[in-house]
Amino acid sequence: MSATDRPDRPPWADFKGALERAGFHPSRRLGQNFLLDDNMARAIASDSGVTAGHFTLEVGPGCGFLSVHLAHAGARLLCVEIDPRLAPIARDFLQPYPDAEVIEADVLASKSSLAPEVLERLPAAGEWTLCANLPYSISGPFLATVAQLQNPPSRVACLVQKEVAERLASAPGDATWGPLSAAFQESYEVTLGRFVPPQLFWPRPKVDSAVFLADLRGDLAAPEERARRMQFFRDLMQRRRKSLRRVLSDLVGGAQATRSLEALDLDPLRRAETLSLPELRALEREARADV
């Protein structure tokens, strides 16, 4: 039985009417813009590459519009929904799929840590996938947190604001290259995926959205090393238009900054935003090396 021919499933567009009739007002604070286009939801689930038995985390299932396609692909699905009005709807909707679980929780315990009830359910080893239509308010901190996990997802396919997707997928020298790009790319190879126009959502967002796809790097560093590099990249890139000499001096002191730049033959007047990922990594190593 496919997700689209389930006899008990009301027509797709009825969800909006049913929610409105039940007095539901989408919360802007929680980034509640529901993707009401079934073909697009199916396509995003397919982008994630999820296959039968594969563990998949979905943050913010809402009513379960994307979840149902992930569940239908056979995923062992964990959905984490903060809104107590929505979690039961998603749970109900996913009821035919015994491998799908919906828990009611804020996925983030703090800006840089996952909720314990989520963490304890994630695979400690092996491949798994993150697929979601992420709420805008948490997409940056959540993705940075995920990239620092002991066992991060091997594949990420998420729908976010187009501008965020572009930042995540950008390269040094691009106008969109910034702290999040460098920090996330420390763990992932990122590509820009499909564009999703505002009219496919309810309520309609003011901005465009896009999917990004990310695959875990083969040369992944140990978690502490990753966390240290990501913090350094963020510190450096916060002031990416300043000269390397100036920013690095503020971070590690003038003498250490000069020594590091000389050791790597980097022009002290270059801007941090022009450094490639290998250069950023080398600079982090030099800058914290004992003199």
Q: Quick one: which segment of 27-35, 186-194, 213-221, 269-277 binds ligand SAM (CB under 6 A)?
A: 27-35
| 68 vs 230, beta carbon nearer ligand SAM | 68
On whether the CB atoms of residues 68 and 131 are closer than 8 A, the answer is: no
- Residue 30 or residue 237: which is nearer to ligand SAM going by CB? 30
- Which of 3, 19, 75, 86 lies at the binding interface for ligand SAM (CB under 6 A)? 86
Q: For ligand SAM, which is the closer residue by CB, 15 or 177? A: 15
Residue 181 vs residues 49, 108, 118, 188, 228: alpha-carbon distances, Å: 23, 20, 25, 10, 16
Of the candidates 1, 5, 100, 9, the residue with the CA atom closest to the CA atom of residue 55:
100
Question: Among 3, 15, 19, 34, which residue interacts with ligand SAM (rule: CB under 6 A)?
Answer: 34
Q: Could you say which residues in the range 242-271 bind ligand SAM, by CB under 6 A?
A: none
Return d(Cα 131, Cα 159) in angstroms, integer: 8
Candidates 48-56, 59-67, 162-170, 221-229: pick the segment binding ligand SAM (CB under 6 A). 59-67
Show the site string, 114-153: x = touches ligand SAM by CB under 6 A, - = not: -------------------x-x--x---------------
Task: Say if CB 66 and CB 37 are below 8 A apart.
Answer: no
Quick one: residue 62, left, alpha or beta (phi over 0 = left, psi -120 to 50 = alpha)? left
Classify each residue of 21-60 as buried b or exposed e, where b means 16 or more C-beta atoms within 10 Å of its C-beta: eeebebeeebbbbbbbbbebbbebbebbbbeeebbbbbbb
- Residue 284 makes contact with ligand SAM by CB under 6 A: no
**Contact between 61 and ligand SAM per CB under 6 A:** yes
| Distance, CA of 10 to CA of 93 (rounded, Å) | 10
30 lies in the binding site for ligand SAM (CB under 6 A): yes
Residue 66 contacts ligand SAM per CB under 6 A: yes
Both tokens assigned to 229: 């590099």
Interface with ligand SAM (CB under 6 A), residue from 71, 108, 230, 283: 108
Name the closest residue to ligand SAM (Cβ). 60
94 binds ligand SAM, rule: CB under 6 A:
no
Residues 6 or more apart whose CB falls under 8 angstroms from that of 5 comprise none
Q: Is residue 207 within 8 Å of 229, Cβ to Cβ? A: no
Q: Toward ligand SAM, which CB reaches closer, 135 or 193?
A: 135
Q: Is residue 209 close enough to count as binding ligand SAM by CB under 6 A?
A: no
Q: For the purposes of burial, counting CB atoms within 10 Å of the CB of 259, is it exposed (0-12), middle (13-18) or buried (19 or more)?
A: middle
62 binds ligand SAM (CB under 6 A): yes
Which residue in the set 15, 38, 60, 257 belongs to the binding site for ligand SAM (CB under 6 A)?
60
Q: Which residue's structure tokens are 């980034």?
A: 31
| Shortest Å, Cβ 291 to ligand SAM | 43
Q: Kindly tell me which residue out of 106, 215, 225, 250 binds ligand SAM, with binding defined by CB under 6 A.
A: 106
Beta bridge partners of 100: 77
Distance from C-alpha of 79 to C-alpha of 259, rounded to nearest angstrom: 49
Sites of contact with ligand SAM (CB under 6 A): 30-35, 59-62, 65-66, 80-83, 86, 106-108, 133, 135, 138
